[in-house]
Chain A
Amino acid sequence: MTEVLGIPIQALFGQLLLGLVNGSFYALLSLGLAVIFGLLGIVNFAHGALYMMGAYAAWIMLEKFGINYWFALVLAPLVIGLLGIVIERLLLKRLYKLDPVYGLLLTFGLALIAEGIFRDQYGVSGQSYAVPDALQGATDIGFMVLPNYRAWVVLASVVVCFATWFLIEKTRLGSTLRAATENAPLVQAFGVNVPVMVMCTYGAGAALAGLAGVLAAPVIQVTPLMGSNLIIVVFAVVVIGGMGSILGSIVTGLVLGLIEGLTRAGFFASVLSIPFDALFGPGNQGSSLVSILVGPVASNVVVFIIMIIVLILRPAGLFGKGA
């Protein structure tokens, strides 16, 4: 069995794939956040809750109505998108004239409400959602065993992300959206119904989050806490990428997922141990310290560490257009 820097190839690619799966979720969610922030000026803390509700929607559809995964993939985002529209109409539109912090606080409250209700109904232990039959099993591609479903998640996410990017950057609708971000009254003067567009944008962002939830359901336990665990990392991703750019969010999300995977495989620990081992021999204190700081345990915080570095070097974010 071949090894790279002391890590078996199988393990390395396995972790990379898992990292890529995580990165897909980061990309999908930060994309939604960026779109919502761009047009509404609201940082949607409820994004994690919408993701969670998308997963529950898929689970409930399967358990109670026998609707299978493929239909849920379309229906659940629609349901969550509608929920998003309702939220926007009833609550969010009152906040546009206020400081953005209020948007963050209100959506934080919404996230707590959603989490509390689902916790009350379903407890915290989580429900399992079966992988759809067509995607069961794994394919042996020589240097690793590739679980089919996870490969599908990455593929689907990338397709959706780029479809969204294309819609926003290359179509007429997208350019109207971008114009409204810059100067809403002017666009309205041109006859475009901006409030409806804003409403639909939030709905679309919510739908993206819901879709991510459906994709996640077979991979992760469907629990009420799945959103809150994720949203904070996504915030960091968004700060790193800078919220101005759609492509930036997608790329940053995927790359950060990969870096997380590499960290978990011990890649950075191995790389950084090389100089220590060369100088002081194996098993030295320096290597132990390195493996604590950037070893598998650090995979939880590597995104935050990168965020700090980016903030020091490029405060506007890697793809940002100023604060």
Chain B
Amino acid sequence: MQRKSSSLVLGAYALLIVVMLAVPFIGIYPVLVMKVICFAIFACAFNLLFGYTGLLSFGHAAFFGSAAYATGWIVRALNVSPEVGVLFGVVIAAALGLVVGAIAIRRQGIYFAMITLALAQMVYFACLQMPFTHGEDGLQGVPRGRLFGALSLDSDLAMYYFVLGVAIVVFVFIRRIVHSPYGQVLKAIRENEPRAISLGYAVDRYKLLAFVLSSALAGLAGSMKTLVLGFATLSDVHWSMSGEVILMTLLGGLGTFFGPVLGAGIVISLQDGLADRAGSWVTVIIGVIFVVCVLLFRKGIVGEYVAFRARRNAKSRAGVVAQ
């Protein structure tokens, strides 16, 4: 597939990166954009599990939130530099992912989803009770610190570029996973698990690894969010957060690469823009989007667009539509 399209693709990426680099200077509130980027990472992590492997985890907030709390706590209590804090958060989320995944993978399909939901609820109650999270009040006043002990991240500008840099690394990483042989096996598991088993793959091990990777990346998103906004609260581990990340991915496009990013952008902008004016109607709107997406729009925005182009394109497209 190395036609002149590859230069077009690179051009598109370059344009996007230029736009992103310029964001603080064109009058958009950087904190909001950073929040969107964090949730975009979260959604991409979730997409890795649901879109590419076909496992619906209804409790992904547990990983997002536990890393958020872990990073918040260690940065505040031990005064470590931000990259150590983030690493700690990721490790905690991955460890939790290992435990939850090991338990949940024992069942398939819809039971898997319900088990992840129930386990995430346990994590919620644990976070509610543990003293260092400060329960309802949340973990407040998390300092951004000095990156590698040198570069202060207190200014929104510096923090923004740090977040952007991390996001680019994450996206490249996810791309590598998806395009690797491992990624192909995951897709095979999503399409037809019994077949994959009959081909000799240790399917449970693949699923567990995907789960741990997904939870680690979700944790990364949570850790970054804590540094950006300066707090970690119970909202981060609540089931409504799990629902939101599912919506972002579904709306944007399951199994596509940019879909979750777009979905995150839309949902966060919606919540931010409507929160003052609409209050509870934001919940209703999110519910309506869910219903509409499931009924009419299952491929999500990017997915539907791709399918539309594919239908228009007379040439046969070898290979899988979802990359």
Contacts and interface: CB of A to CB of B under 8 A. Distances in A.
Asked if chains A and B are in direct contact (CB within 8 A), the reply is: yes
Interface of A: 43, 91, 94-95, 98-102, 104-106, 108-117, 119-120, 228, 232-233, 235-236, 238-239, 297, 300-301, 304-305, 307-308, 311-312, 315, 323
A232 B119 CA distance: 10
Q: Which of B56, B250, B282, B295 has the most CB of A within 10 A?
A: B295
A101 B125 contact: no
A317 to B, nearest CB: 9
Contact of A112 (B58, B122, B243): B243
Contact of A315 (B107, B114, B117): B107
A120 to B, nearest CB: 4
Interface string B205-236: 00000000000000000000000000000000
A307 B243 contact: no
Contacts of B246: 105, 108
Contacts of B110: 43, 100-101, 104
A238 B279 CA distance: 33
Given A106-B290, A116-B285, 8 more contacts: A104-B110, A105-B290, A110-B287, A113-B283, A232-B118, A301-B121, A311-B107, A315-B107
Contacts of B323: none
B119 A304 contact: yes
Contact of A91 (B107, B113, B126, B295): B295
Contacts of B250: 105
Given A113-B287, A116-B282, A101 B113 contact: yes
Contacts of A232: 117-118, 121, 239
A235 B126 CA distance: 19
Interface of B: 56, 58, 103, 106-111, 113-115, 117-119, 121-122, 125-126, 129, 239, 243, 246, 250, 279-291, 293-295, 298
A323 B107 contact: yes
B108 A43 contact: no
B281 A120 contact: yes
23 contacts: A98-B298, A99-B109, A101-B113, A104-B56, A104-B58, A105-B294, A108-B246, A108-B290, A109-B288, A112-B287, A113-B287, A116-B285, A116-B286, A119-B279, A233-B121, A236-B118, A236-B121, A239-B111, A301-B121, A301-B126, A304-B118, A315-B107, A323-B109
A235 B114 contact: yes
B263 to A, nearest CB: 14
Contact of A120 (B58, B121, B284, B288): B284
Contacts of A104: 56, 58, 110, 113
Given A105-B246, A108-B243, A120-B280, A311 B115 contact: yes
**B interface, over-half SS:** helix
A106 B297 CA distance: 12
Nearest to A43: B110
Contact of B103 (A43, A108, A300, A308): A308
A311 B113 contact: no
A267 to B, nearest CB: 19
A96 to B, nearest CB: 13
A107 B42 CA distance: 23
Contact of B294 (A102, A238, A312): A102
B153 to A, nearest CB: 35
B111 to A, nearest CB: 6
B295 A106 contact: yes
Contacts of A117: 280, 284
A91 B291 contact: yes
A235 B125 CA distance: 16
A113 B283 CA distance: 6
Nearest to A92: B295
A120 B279 contact: yes
